[in-house]
Amino acid sequence: MSNSIPFNLDPPGTYLYTGQMATKGFKLTRFGLSLRDPANRERFLKDEAAYMREAGLNEEEIRLVLARDWTGLIEAGGHLQAMLKVAATVGQNLWHIGAHNAGMEVEELMRICPRTVSALPEGEK
C-alpha cells in the first residue's frame, strides 16, 4: 500500500459523514452552502466574522473558519462539499483542504497524487 494509506474508514484517514455529523455541523454546513450565492460570497468577504455570527455559528466554529482549519471544520461536522464553498470563496481549493487533512503541503500532496493502491474486495485477487 503506497503512502501507507490505511484500508479502513477511521479518522484521521476518513471522516464518514453520518447523520450525527449532520446534526452537529448543521449550521456550519448551512453557512458554507450559503456561499453558493455570489451576493453572499461578497458579503462574507467584506467581514467574515460578522457574516458567520449572523449565520449563527459559535465562536469555536468562527475561529476554525478564520484559521482555515479545514480538518477542524470537518471534525466539527462541516460537510466537505460545504467547506469547499468556503475554500473557493477565500481563494483556496480542494487541494488545500486535502493537504490540511493529510498533514502536508499542497505541493507535496499534488506530487504524490494519485496515491495508487491496489486491492479488491475480499476473496478476489
Partner 1 sequence: MARIVGGFGISHTPSMGLEYDKGLAQGFSPRWQKWYDGTRGVKAWLERAAPDRMIIVYNDHLNHFDFSAYPTMAIGVAPEFRQADEGWGLRPFPSLVGDVDLGWHLTEKLVRGGYDLTVCQDLAVDHGIYSWLPYLMDLPWTIPVVPVAINMVRHPIPTSERLHQFGKDIRRAIDSFPGEDRIVVVGTGGMSHQISGARFGIANETLDHYFLEKLKDETEELVAIPQEELMRLGGTEAAELAIWFSMRGALSDKVKEVHRYYTFPAITGCGVVVYEEPA
Footprint of partner 1 (CB under 8 A): 5-9, 11-23, 26, 29-30, 33, 35-38, 41, 74, 79-82, 84-85, 88-89, 94, 97-99, 101-103, 109, 112-122, 124
Q: Of 62 and 87, which has the nearer Cβ to partner 1? A: 87
**Residue 95 neighbours by CB under 8 Å, 6+ apart:** 106, 109, 110
Asked if 83 contacts 110 with a C-beta cutoff of 8 angstroms, the reply is no
Q: Name the minimum Å distance from CB 119 to partner 1.
A: 5
Q: Name the minimum Å distance from CB 42 to partner 1.
A: 13
Q: Name the minimum Å distance from CB 85 to partner 1.
A: 4
Q: Is 28 exposed, middle or buried (0-12, 13-18, 19+ CB in 10 A)?
A: buried
